[in-house]
A and B are shown apart, each in its own frame.
Chain A
Amino acid sequence: MFFAAAMTSVIISALIVWSLARETWTFVTQVEVAALWTDGWFPRRGMYDVKTIVVGSALITGIALAVAIPIGLAAAIFLAEYARPRVRRVLKPVLEILAGIPSVVLGFFALTFISPQIVQRFTDASQFNMLAAGMAVGVLTIPLIASVSEDAMRSVPDSLREASYGLGARKVQTTLRVVIPAAVSGLVAALIIAVSRAIGETMVVFVAAGATGGSLYSTNILGPGQTMTAAIASQAAGTDQVVGEGLTFQSLFFVAMLLFVITMFLNLVADRFVRRVRQSY
């Protein structure tokens, strides 16, 4: 019986692949190749420009990482190397609470606070813009980067630190030249997991980046944009059946398959890096 329960996870994976594969196959075999390279992603009008949503996802991810890496890494180094146990007990839950905030809430925050108060104050961005959405996705990935990198640095044995102090190194030198190089696999894993999470984030972009229904190809982060995830959600939102020209419905499965393959690849690579940290210490 317990075996059956454990096997459900395998069955779920199989079901995911099965449900994606059928319609993806229909899409791939029936779509005109020319429709995959047009001016924008408007599935209801038969325009499936894949680069629009892939570049959108890449831009959002890039902005998110620019926000999350410095903050997340600094928090991780502070918690792992500098904070006294008591300070750590207070500060760590802050990150964990931040991790528990649902992404719709960050979408609302991006739209009603980050966009008007921060982005529009310094630029002439439109109300819906990718920069604000990307920053909010960054906030979501801060706790992830922080906790995975902190784990990696804490698993570096103290003997390495003591050896470094014994040679007369200071705390900064020990942290930057001994602990971080020793934990580098874990830090890379944190980065990859963050990328995977940012690519898969839906609701922030859905709420705050505009472009419901479709988007022209755009690399302007101050304007609205569409990611792979939001493209799926916005086609399905509010309608009983996904309607539109020919392959609209199938295109969702195609995008989801793309997303599934990309994130699975990233997750497996990250897993390998995490394992490497564990093996060496």
Chain B
Amino acid sequence: MALSQPRQAASLAADLVSDITRNERDLSGKAFRIALLAGIITAFVVLVVLIVDVINVGSPVLSERLGDLLSSTLGSKPETSGLSQALRGSFYIGVFVLLVAVPLGVSAAIFLEEYARQGRLTRFIDINIRNLAGVPSVVYGILGLTVFVQALRAFTGPDSNGRSVISAGLTLSILVLPIIIITSAEAIRAVPNGIREAGYGVGATRWEVVKSHVLPYAAPGILTGTVLALARALGEAAPLILVGATTGFLTSGSSYLPSSLQERFTALPIVISTWSGRPGEDWRASTAAAIVIMLAVVLVANAGAILLRNHYEKKR
């Protein structure tokens, strides 16, 4: 009887709510949420502090002698040293990654996703690729030292003992190959089967389906992977140390002619790591300026890749 009266029902509901919540606010829930937020904000703050610190320290050099920094060669004094040879080395490493690693990686991904039958071999290749993606970069340096610097010296640079930008470019191409394969394979896997079936339905061969339907559809994903791989290769220093990047002085090597590919070389991250170890405020400022230049390239590439991916993800 009592329940049928609306007033009492309302107060019963209030009683029930207070019974369940015991009139407590969800304090532990709130604390937990704040702790989580603190975690992600810490990551954000570290990123901001890092970028602001580097720009701050490097700003005198960047504002006073940016053109000079970009155009002069390595030297023993901070106020005259420049990055031209380093930029050239990094440029060629990027070219090698685009010409060697990208075609190879995308082909491998096409094979694994479109041609290979699921079996022991593909599983083995798959595990192998994912393991390669986790191999430390110094170990790739050792590979480059043995294969490109020593075994293939006649091709990579007889005069520079094999310590050339060819060796460096090939080593880093191998380093980023797993990244390209994995991201391309994911992009190809995400292509809806209906597209393939429609192609086969009108009598297209497998290659025609791949070439004119699957690849164009997967292109944004493949491009994202390519850009990420490029950014990784441009920032990687450890393998280059083993391949023999010059850390001190370099007389040659500011020419962009392909004939100079067999000469000794250096690259931006190598110069940064060497300059980091030099004492004094002036070297510190130059190092920070070089970092700003490298971060500008690497982070713009990364951010571009992320935006590209998000754009296409939203579209589909």
Interface residues of A (CB under 8 A from B): 1-3, 5-10, 12-13, 15-16, 18-20, 22-23, 70-75, 77-79, 82, 89, 91, 93-98, 100-109, 111-113, 139, 142-143, 146, 168, 170-172, 175, 193, 196-197, 199-203, 206-207, 212, 229, 232-233, 236-238, 240-241, 252-253, 256, 259-260, 263-264, 266-268, 271
Which of B35, B37, B177 contacts A12 (CB under 8 A)? B177
Give A71 to B38 CA distance when docked, in angstroms. 8
- Among A104, A200, A266, residue most surrounded by chain B Cβ atoms (within 10 Å): A104
From B39, B47, B128, B139, contact of A97 by CB (8 A): B47
* Given A16-B135, A78-B39, A271-B127, A112 and B241 contact (CB-CB distance below 8 Å): no
Q: Cβ of B142 and Cβ of A94 under 8 Å apart?
A: no
If A9-B177, A105-B291, A263-B135 touch, does A233 touch B108 (CB 8 Å cutoff)?
no
Decide yes or no: A12 and B115 within 8 Å by CB, A112-B284, A203-B238, A259-B138 being known contacts.
no
Does the CB pair A108–B40 fall under 8 Å?
no
Size of B's binding interface in residues, CB under 8 A: 91
Asked if A94 and B44 sit within 8 Å, CB to CB, the answer is: yes
Given A6-B108, A73-B39, A267-B130, A260:B139 Cβ within 8 A: yes
| CA of A171 to CA of B43, assembled, Å | 24
Q: Considering only CB atoms, which chain B residue lies closest to A232 in the complex?
A: B138
Please list 29 pairs of residues, one from A and one from B, whose beta carbons are closer than 8 Å in the complex, sorted by A's number: A2-B107, A5-B108, A6-B108, A10-B128, A12-B132, A18-B146, A20-B142, A74-B40, A77-B36, A91-B44, A96-B302, A100-B299, A102-B237, A104-B269, A104-B272, A104-B273, A107-B273, A108-B288, A112-B276, A142-B43, A202-B237, A203-B237, A206-B241, A207-B273, A229-B136, A232-B242, A237-B241, A264-B131, A264-B134
Taking CB atoms and an 8 Å cut-off, the chain B residues in 251-289 that contact chain A are 269, 272-274, 276-277, 284, 287-288
Contacts of B125 in A (CB 8 A): 6-7, 9-10
By a CB distance below 8 angstroms, the chain A residues around B136 are 199-202, 229, 259-260, 263
Provide the main secondary structure of the chain B interface.
helix
Instruction: Give Cα A12 to B143, complex, Å.
Output: 9
Segment 117-162 of B: residues with Cβ below 8 Å from A: 124-125, 127-132, 134-143, 145-147, 161
Q: Report how far A97 CA is from B301 CA in the complex, Å.
A: 10
- Give Cα A6–Cα B38 distance, bound, in whole angstroms: 44
Query: Which 4 A-B pairs rank lowest in CB-CB distance, beginning with the nearest?
Result: A74-B39, A102-B235, A200-B136, A19-B146
- Residue numbers in A under 8 Å from B236 (CB-CB): 102
A3, A22, A70, A212, most chain B CB atoms within 10 A: A3
Docked CA distance A252–B40 (Å):
39
Known contacts being A170-B29, A233-B238, A233-B241, is A5 close to B47, with CB within 8 Å? no
The complex places the Cα of A105 from the Cα of B289 at a distance, in Å, of: 11
Q: Are B39 and A75 in contact (CB under 8 A)?
A: yes
Nearest residue, chain B, Cβ from A12 = B174
Report whether B147 and A15 are in contact in the complex, using a CB–CB cutoff of 8 Å: yes
Tell me the bound Cα distance from A120 to B150 in angstroms: 44
B28 proximity list for chain A (CB < 8 A): 172
The interface residues of chain A lying within 8 Å CB-to-CB of B127 are: 268, 271
B87-113, CB < 8 A from A: 104-105, 107-108, 110-112
- B77 in the interface (beta carbon within 8 A): no
CA separation between A182 and B269, bound complex, in Å? 42
> A264: which B residues are within 8 A, CB to CB?
131, 134-135
**In the complex, which residues of chain A have a beta carbon less than 8 angstroms from the beta carbon of B299?**
97, 100-101
Cβ contact within 8 Å between A98 and B143: no
Please tell me if B219 contacts chain A, counting CB pairs below 8 Å. Answer: no
Residues of the A chain whose Cβ atoms lie less than 8 Å from the Cβ of B128: 9-10, 13
A13 touches B131 (CB 8 A): yes
Does B26 lie within 8 Å of A71, measured CB to CB?
A: no
Shortest C-beta distance, A6 to chain B (Å), equals 4
Assess the A74–B135 pair: CB atoms within 8 A. no
Question: In the complex, what residue of chain A is closest to B264 when comparing beta carbons?
Answer: A240
Contacting residues of chain B (215-244) with chain A, CB-CB under 8 angstroms: 228, 231-232, 234-238, 241-242, 244
Q: Residue A98 contacts which of B33, B46, B142 (CB distance < 8 angstroms)?
A: B46
Of the candidates B130, B142, B310, which one forms a contact with A256 in the assembled complex, judged by CB atoms under 8 Å apart? B142
